[in-house]
Structure 1
Amino acid sequence: MDLGPELRSLPTVGETVDRYRIVARIGLGGMAVVYAVRRSSIGGFEKLLAMKVMLPNLALDARFVNMFLDEARIASHIQHKNVVEVLDVGTWNELPFLVMELLSGRSFSHLLSALGDTPDARVPVALAVLAQAAEGLHAAHEALGADGRSLDVVHRDVSPQNIFVTTDGEVKVVDFGVAAARGRLSDTRTGELKGKLRYLAPEQVTLAHPLTRAADIWSLGVVAWEAFTGRRLFTEANEATALWNIVEAPIEDVAALAPSLPAACAAMVRRCLERDPARRPKSAQEIGAVFAKGARDLAGPGGVDLAGALANRFGDALARERTMFADVARDVAALDGGADAEGDASGTDAAKADALVPAARTALTTVTEVDTPRSQGEKTSRRGVVTLLVAAATATFAAVVAFRGSTAPAASAPASPATPASTEAKTSPKPDALPDEDAALKATSAPPSLLAASPSASATTRSRSPSPIRRGPKPASSAPMSNPLIKNPF
């Protein structure tokens, strides 16, 4: 499969990058390519991992390089079973790469779609997933730097797409690409919003309070409300109404829509969705404890079998993915027996590897959020947010959307403005229902599950544009080369 000239300098199947043998290309996003790689050592040691390699055009931009490395640095300080583990960072052919654990399973978004709209079916599974996710989020919030001081991590993009359920029933919080933390190499530019629009906390919109872990707790509350009810917390026709809803719209009681939800869990969701950050739970661990007890109360002493829930709904697809992946791994292993170690897999080997790509590419945008960095005119600015909120307060929504850095004159929005291209949440035929955000995955058996968490330059844009960069052929050796933009993130 031809990825175009601008991507031909990336590693290919069968090639060795540093200590890692490329087994398959399993995802292509707007910021990185994700590979399955094999790490081998003495005594027959072998482990399959995931590697993300930054796209060549973005590797020329110091800001995006720093964002990429920030994810590695932040995640490396979080040691917890419910957070995706980053194992290594380096450069190859002047491109930064991250190595992390390889996840097999489905996103929480995908699992919720499969559970359907009935709260009785959704609630026990959702409680079990969110209990683990809350523990992972708490570990991130408590992470310490090398100096022993708190890193003050705020994930900023807590969403169903960034919660991953593995085939063995473990839950992982993924994607720290836009996380706030002390000592980040990259800074959020004045006026930018980070994260998916509909999960933003009110203080992320208004700047009325400093950004703390309380913002993640709000976002987790939105995820929980939607998971338990099968509906969106807010409906919106456009970005202006979405922002207004976050700050001012009344919130329907989750207990009225999900009567099987234990009372303590419903009360916890209400606390998470307090618009005053000081009134929210003090830690995600507190949320996890309440949700875990609720799951046990509903499912009995054995608790909820998340591995079984995943197998019941995706068992055949997961089995096909494992078979296809194993076939490709064996084919690549055969290269070690005599084929050119620096060459590409060819013939049927390459065809099998490429067969993994289309679904994984689709999954990458819904599971791991590898997004194309937005242009200046597409970015949601806080200055624009203020304008939108003022317009909403006058009940006209004829707002002037002032995007930071734009040289074009601001346009007056009509009474019913069209949804901006950068808005993540789009109107659906059933506006109060959660959309099937992973529907594209159901039409294919190629593996969307063998993924790693990926950095988000901005999580509200899904547009992709081809790179204008044309790079020359790869050097004969795959030894790492220096990139003056890359600093040691640790």
Structure 2
Amino acid sequence: MTFLAPKGTEFVRLLGGGSVFEVALVREGGRELVCKRLVPRALAAREGRVAMVREARLLSTIAHPALPSLVRVGNDARGPFFLETFAAGTSVAALVRGWQERGARVPRTLVRHVAIHALEALAEIHALGDEAGPLDVVHGDLGPAHVLLGPLGEVRLVDLGAARFRGLEAELETDDRGTLPYAAPEIASGEAKPSQATDVYAMAATLLHLATGERLCEAETEAAMLAEVATRGLRRELVLHAEAFEAKERAALFEALDPDPSRRRASARELCDALAPVPRAPDLR
């Protein structure tokens, strides 16, 4: 089915799609925007409508350089849609594939750049608040396809259809399981809901894939992958091959991927500091 650009915009090209959204680049006046629509199957499903409302709500509620901004929402003959700002970039998934096609891993300096800036962005987003207190923002679906490296080295986080934040209505809650095999075991098993802690696990898994280029679980089908991740997590022994990181940093990454949530790194800030310790000014007292 041809993508229908909203009235007043011009279709440029498809950007991708999945089980919920079809995503296209459109042009409005002199600027390019991302248009998201529900795929036909999702139009009739509660989960699809919820994902659209939730992402639009989040993008209208918070602002951060690593996140897109909502431009407008609408409804037409093809159903509901929303427009958000577009930022060019290459996903971690595409980055890994590109270097694999050259017979190599992503270079160490590039791995470290993406890792530190992605964790910094996640830590800042998790810490967002307003006059009423913390916003408790959760991305909910981090993975290699949802972390982008921009042309100037900026790192962005996209696809927030599974996001959560303070004040989210109960009717917008769904049983999201994230993207396998990057979802935390307690999410895959259905024992827990997405949280900032499970965001940290998913980001650590994404960075492990970036650093090694390896498959993170042995299963190949979705059902088998779900069972493997739910029962024992991913192949975190692959951290030993993440040569972009020093030994202490690999230990921090290994800890962040522990299948037992009580033994993991507690926050994105903590993991970011473990990979890129911030030099402190000397105490001159």
Question: Aligned ranges for residues 36-51 of structure 1 at < 5 Å?
Answer: 36-40=25-29, 46-51=30-35
Highest Rg: 1 or 2? 1
Select the residue among 177, 187, 210 that pairs with 1:204: 187
**Structure 2 residue aligned with 1:306:** none
Are 2:122 and 1:137 equivalent residues in the alignment?
yes
Select the residue among 32, 49, 57 that pairs with 1:73: 57
User: Structure 1 212/21 Cα, relative in aligned 2: closer, same or farther at 3 Å?
Assistant: closer
Select the residue among 198, 205, 208 that pairs with 1:215: 198
**Is this contact kept in 2: 1:138–1:283, CA < 8 A?**
yes
User: Structure 1 115/246 Cα, relative in aligned 2: closer, same or farther at 3 Å?
Assistant: farther
SS at match of 1:215: helix
* CA shift for structure 1 position 149: 4.3
User: Structure 1 265/88 Cα, relative in aligned 2: closer, same or farther at 3 Å?
Assistant: farther
Task: Give CA deviations for 1:418-452 in whole Å, capped at 9, x if unaligned.
Answer: xxxxxxxxxxxxxxxxxxxxxxxxxxxxxxxxxxx
In structure 1, give the amino acid aligned to 2:251.
A
In structure 2, give the amino acid aligned to 1:76.
S
**Is this contact kept in 1: 2:204–2:256, CA < 8 A?**
yes
User: Structure 1 123/65 Cα, relative in aligned 2: closer, same or farther at 3 Å?
Assistant: same
How many corresponding residue pairs?
271
Are 2:155 and 1:155 equivalent residues in the alignment?
no
Are 2:112 and 1:127 equivalent residues in the alignment?
yes
| Counterpart Cα distance in 2 of 1:106 and 1:211 | 25
SS at match of 1:49: strand
Select the residue among 268, 275, 278 that pairs with 2:252: 268
**Is this contact kept in 1: 2:186–2:230, CA < 8 A?**
no
In structure 1, give the amino acid aligned to 2:268.
A
* CA shift for structure 1 position 175: 0.6
| Counterpart Cα distance in 1 of 2:85 and 2:272 | 24
SS at match of 2:107: helix
User: Structure 1 115/187 Cα, relative in aligned 2: closer, same or farther at 3 Å?
Assistant: same
Task: Give CA deviations for 1:252-277 in whole Å, capped at 9, x if unaligned.
Answer: 162x3234522332122012112232
Deviates further, 241-250 or 95-104:
241-250
**Is this contact kept in 2: 1:128–1:292, CA < 8 A?**
no
In structure 2, give the amino acid aligned to 1:187.
E
* CA shift for structure 1 position 56: 5.8
Question: Aligned ranges for residues 103-118 of structure 1 at < 5 Å?
Answer: 103-116=87-100, 118=104
**Is this contact kept in 2: 1:82–1:132, CA < 8 A?**
no
User: Structure 1 236/48 Cα, relative in aligned 2: closer, same or farther at 3 Å?
Assistant: closer
Question: Aligned ranges for residues 380-391 of structure 1 at < 5 Å?
Answer: none
**Structure 2 residue aligned with 1:282:** 266
TM-score, normalised to structure 1, is: 0.49
| Counterpart Cα distance in 1 of 2:78 and 2:104 | 50
Select the residue among 161, 167, 172 that pairs with 1:186: 172
| Counterpart Cα distance in 1 of 2:226 and 2:44 | 35
**Is this contact kept in 2: 1:221–1:273, CA < 8 A?**
yes
Select the residue among 20, 24, 43 that pairs with 2:12: 24
Are 2:231 and 1:247 equivalent residues in the alignment?
yes
**Structure 2 residue aligned with 1:34:** 23
User: Structure 1 74/253 Cα, relative in aligned 2: closer, same or farther at 3 Å?
Assistant: same
**Is this contact kept in 2: 1:77–1:143, CA < 8 A?**
no
| Counterpart Cα distance in 2 of 1:55 and 1:259 | 40
Select the residue among 75, 79, 82 that pairs with 2:66: 82
SS at match of 1:200: coil
**Structure 2 residue aligned with 1:92:** 76
| Counterpart Cα distance in 2 of 1:135 and 1:33 | 29
Select the residue among 214, 219, 224 that pairs with 1:231: 214
In structure 1, give the amino acid aligned to 2:23.
V
**Is this contact kept in 2: 1:135–1:284, CA < 8 A?**
yes
Cα RMSD (Å): 3.1
**Is this contact kept in 2: 1:129–1:171, CA < 8 A?**
yes
In structure 1, give the amino acid aligned to 2:255.
R
Q: Which runs of 5+ in 1 are unaligned?
A: 41-45, 295-490
User: Structure 1 21/251 Cα, relative in aligned 2: closer, same or farther at 3 Å?
Assistant: closer
In structure 1, give the amino acid aligned to 2:172.
S
| Counterpart Cα distance in 1 of 2:119 and 2:257 | 15
SS at match of 1:198: coil
| Counterpart Cα distance in 1 of 2:125 and 2:203 | 14
* CA shift for structure 1 position 195: 1.4
In structure 2, give the amino acid aligned to 1:132.
H
User: Structure 1 226/74 Cα, relative in aligned 2: closer, same or farther at 3 Å?
Assistant: same
* CA shift for structure 1 position 286: 2.8
* CA shift for structure 1 position 63: 4.3
In structure 2, give the amino acid aligned to 1:36.
L
| Counterpart Cα distance in 2 of 1:94 and 1:161 | 26
**Is this contact kept in 1: 2:162–2:176, CA < 8 A?**
no
Q: Which runs of 5+ in 2 are unaligned?
A: 279-285
| Counterpart Cα distance in 2 of 1:99 and 1:242 | 32
SS at match of 1:176: coil
Task: Give CA deviations for 1:383-420 in whole Å, capped at 9, x if unaligned.
Answer: xxxxxxxxxxxxxxxxxxxxxxxxxxxxxxxxxxxxxx
**Is this contact kept in 1: 2:38–2:48, CA < 8 A?**
no
User: Structure 1 132/276 Cα, relative in aligned 2: closer, same or farther at 3 Å?
Assistant: same
User: Structure 1 245/84 Cα, relative in aligned 2: closer, same or farther at 3 Å?
Assistant: same
**Is this contact kept in 1: 2:184–2:201, CA < 8 A?**
yes
* CA shift for structure 1 position 50: 2.0
